[in-house]
Structure 1
């Protein structure tokens, strides 16, 4: 084999080397460091230079025998499932709606969704905090005006169920624009001729969606669903903010806030690292099926 042929075959892989080096430094080192810390007793003393003793699997044993940790996992999985389902349904419905409305309405809806998506998390959370405020919130005021007197001065964040309802509203509101824009972009690739042919053949709207639209946008739906599972499983900022303005942390922790509490709050970085590694494995397990489906479709 000539040198020119070897260079031509290795050329594309050589171009990937800089990107792989950056990824290896930016992501590889923190991941390896976290794995090592999960087998150590790493606390305040280690932050000031003392060596971290190796404890083997003790952190994982403590983690998996902790009832609170399993409660956090259960809440996180339920919260993730509800948010992913609602986000996907609302996002797909809005994307389909964009194909039906006039150009002016479509432009207004797209601008509104873009503004909601681009709004900083803290600004959005401050707005929602005021909407659900106990004394001055618009939500309580509207419910009282509609005849629900029990909502006068109602605190939405003290009860875990209503706390998660508020959190779900906020998370879905911030996630729907991404799903809507992504699915709408996929819908623009659906053949109008195929839809018209199906309609002429007597296919109903549901049949046209099932047999023409869905197969076309299925790869986009799969990757969007995959991303939503990853994002909603490790949601942090919204839960942490709501806990700070009235929620009860011990009853409302999800995986993200619980890891933060173990590490930053209690300086138990060994346990926090062990839980973080568990979340990584859990994410891989939950998304493995979708990844296999994507690889199968690409082949």
Structure 2
């Protein structure tokens, strides 16, 4: 027998065990029972409070705007008659109302522009100071922002007082400038400028803090690359910083428009509770119609028209917020 015949035959490898059956994949698109109701349950307390606080006043406002409602109706001597759109026709056909609308738009537009430009400038400058100084300035901004509007208005009223105003005294120290006794509210443009400064002063801290937080998300690498490519300070801001901050800038601008269109205490307190015709804005005009002229129906109609005007701004704000949510 040869050596080849005595070789042990090779054994076949044992069969591999069959893999375990794959777990059945959970069908997609199926929600856990009750999952859709959970957000509504969590929102229910807030929605209930909003309904209690806002629903009745809004319904009452709409109701009054379609009625004849004055002092006799308020005290119950006469019933409130339904007059349809007569109040709106009287308001929209009044030239004084459109003058007030124009004044409100100008005041709000100037305030928003100054707030955004000033807030952006301060936020950019804060990036160039040391950490402790930045913290100190932010604390000062928060304190200023938290100051009640009535207190801030009273301070500004004292600063621009014609007899004892600090600003007049300081300006009078400039050679050739005599501002002692100057009345800043003798004309509408000067008085509205003072009110605009007050509005901007109260709004800038929020804008600065928000933009400062947004600037921390701007990549330093992109700014350095832009500088290496020859871009100056304006080019870096325009092509690198501003595109990153665009969602925040749009949101802040829209909110500022809504807030500045609703200015009331700044004008009301600054003019001692009786704003002259040159200082009337939509909210004070509606208040005067309702509580000075005692025509609550027309005051409600003016307020409702103001709400309708602001709905367009609110729609833009909600659209931008949804866009930001889709990007995230």
Compute the displacement of 1:132 (Å). 1.1
More helix by share: 1
Distance in 2 of aligned mates of 1:4 and 1:288: 31
Matches within 5 A, 1:130-209: 130-209=158-237
> Equivalent residue for 1:10?
37
> Equivalent residue for 1:282?
309
Q: Does the C-alpha gap of structure 1 residues 128 and 148 become closer, same or farther in structure 2, counting only changes over 3 Å?
A: farther
Encode CA deviations 1:120-154: one digit per residue, 9 max, x unaligned.
22222222122111122121112221134442211
> Equivalent residue for 1:118?
146
Compute the displacement of 1:241 (Å). 1.2
Encode CA deviations 1:15-34: one digit per residue, 9 max, x unaligned.
33332222222222211111
**Match of residue 75, structure 2, among 38, 44, 48:** 48
Encode CA deviations 1:214-265: one digit per residue, 9 max, x unaligned.
22221111111111101111101010112118x8512210111111111122
> Equivalent residue for 1:265?
292
**Match of residue 216, structure 1, among 244, 255, 279:** 244
Higher relative contact order (CA 8 A, sep 6+): 1
Distance in 2 of aligned mates of 1:16 and 1:116: 33
SS in 2 for 1:274: helix
Q: Determine if contact 2:223/2:240 at 8 Å carries over to the other structure.
A: yes
> Equivalent residue for 1:252?
279
Q: Determine if contact 1:222/1:294 at 8 Å carries over to the other structure.
A: no
> Equivalent residue for 1:228?
256
> Equivalent residue for 1:86?
114
SS in 1 for 2:82: coil
Q: Aligned Cα RMSD in Å?
A: 2.1
Q: Determine if contact 1:125/1:238 at 8 Å carries over to the other structure.
A: yes
Compute the displacement of 1:292 (Å). 2.7
Encode CA deviations 1:95-127: one digit per residue, 9 max, x unaligned.
111111122321232222222212222222222
**Match of residue 56, structure 2, among 10, 29, 40:** 29
Q: Determine if contact 1:157/1:242 at 8 Å carries over to the other structure.
A: no
Gaps of 5+ in 2: 1-26
Distance in 2 of aligned mates of 1:151 and 1:12: 61
Q: Determine if contact 1:41/1:270 at 8 Å carries over to the other structure.
A: yes
Structure with the greater alpha carbon radius of gyration: 2
> Equivalent residue for 1:71?
99
Compute the displacement of 1:161 (Å). 1.2
The number of aligned residues is 297
Distance in 2 of aligned mates of 1:7 and 1:287: 32
